[in-house]
Amino acid sequence: MPVLRTHILNVGRADTIILELPRDDNKKVIGIIDCCDFALTKQYLERKGLDKPDLVQFMVATHPHYDHIGGMQELLEMFVNNGTEVYMFLDSGYEHTSLTYENLMQFLIDHPNIITWYPRTGLQVLFGRLNVRVLSPPEPIPTGTASDCNNASIVLLLTYGSSKLLFAGDAQFTNWSHCCVSQQDFLKAQVLKVSHHGSKHGTFLEALEAINPRIAVVSGENNLNDPNGGFPHPLTVETMNELGVTEVYCTYQHNDIIIESQANARHSVTHL
Ligand SMILES: [Zn+2]
């Protein structure tokens, strides 16, 4: 059986995630969730022989903070210039006024062949054997929260057979409470990309209990010198330990992290 391979790159307190989709043929089909730094991503893709895939099935900008979209437009440009089809782009629809976001949106307007969606809770797309379900954000996206941009994060549940992986972007309490109320049937996953680099605002106890992950990955940085607890916050790590998350990986400790998922809920993690 083919595997789903997830690469969570060591890019500091930022997100860059590359997915190699499970295929029955020999085609290289990838998905991207966030891209903070183009040069690093390009280098990594080249190293793995993924810079000229047969298809980029989807790219997701979970929300428009720079640490999630900083390299996205250049990455799109690279694929387009290589002649690689980018099938679909998912954007939160949270309108950020930064030039980075405006330019990215303009690029998508200029390339109407790339399907651009602003997905909301409940949307499901099947890409071959991989089911992509949007758990959040709801419509309308929350306002008046501690961070409306983070709370607009697209939260994705990827299902391959009985394997489930949840990518939380930078979701915070409002976003998680919405998931707990309206998506509770889908809040179960063996693998969790911990929200918001492991900050204490990104992990919501009720949601974590419902997800009940076995493996958690934090895209964070060394917090030893941060008087505020840094990323990941000790509370987040403690909460995960208490809830019995057996494997916790952090990019600053484990470097680039690769998860190979079989269709039968078996996941194996390698890192440098
Ligand atoms: Zn972030």
119-167 confidence digits (pLDDT tens)? 999 999 999 999 999 999 999 999 999 999 999 999 999 999 999 999 9
Give residue 195 CA to ligand 1 midpoint distance, Å: 8
Give residue 47 CA to ligand 1 midpoint distance, Å: 25
CA–CA separation, 163 and 13 (whole Å): 27
Taking a C-beta distance cutoff of 8 angstroms, is the pair 214, 192 a contact? Answer: no
Give residue 213 CA to ligand 1 midpoint distance, Å: 21
The side-by-side arrangement of strands in the sheet containing 163-167 is 124-127, 130-136, 155-160, 163-167, 191-193, 215-218, 247-250
H-helix or E-strand containing 179? helix 173-182
Give residue 26 CA to ligand 1 midpoint distance, Å: 34
Average pLDDT, the chain: 95
Overall average pLDDT of the 193-212 stretch? 95
Residue 228: pLDDT band (50, 70, 90) is: low
Identify the DSSP state of 184. Answer: G
- pLDDT value, residue 226: 72
- pLDDT value, residue 148: 97
Overall average pLDDT of the 49-76 stretch? 98
pTM of the model: 0.97
CA–CA separation, 248 and 250 (whole Å): 7
Fold classified for 4-271: Metallo-beta-lactamase; Chain A (3.60.15)
Domain ranges of the chain: 4-271
Amino acid letter at 212? N
- pLDDT value, residue 224: 65
Taking a C-beta distance cutoff of 8 angstroms, is the pair 270, 256 a contact? Answer: no
**Residues having C-beta closer than 5 Å to ion ligand 1:** 67, 170
Can you read off the two tokens belonging to residue 24?
């029955």
Identify the DSSP state of 69. Answer: H
Can you read off the two tokens belonging to residue 2?
């083919």
The predicted-structure confidence for 166-190, as pLDDT tens digits, reads as follows 999 999 999 999 999 999 999 999 9
Give residue 103 CA to ligand 1 midpoint distance, Å: 19
Give residue 37 CA to ligand 1 midpoint distance, Å: 13
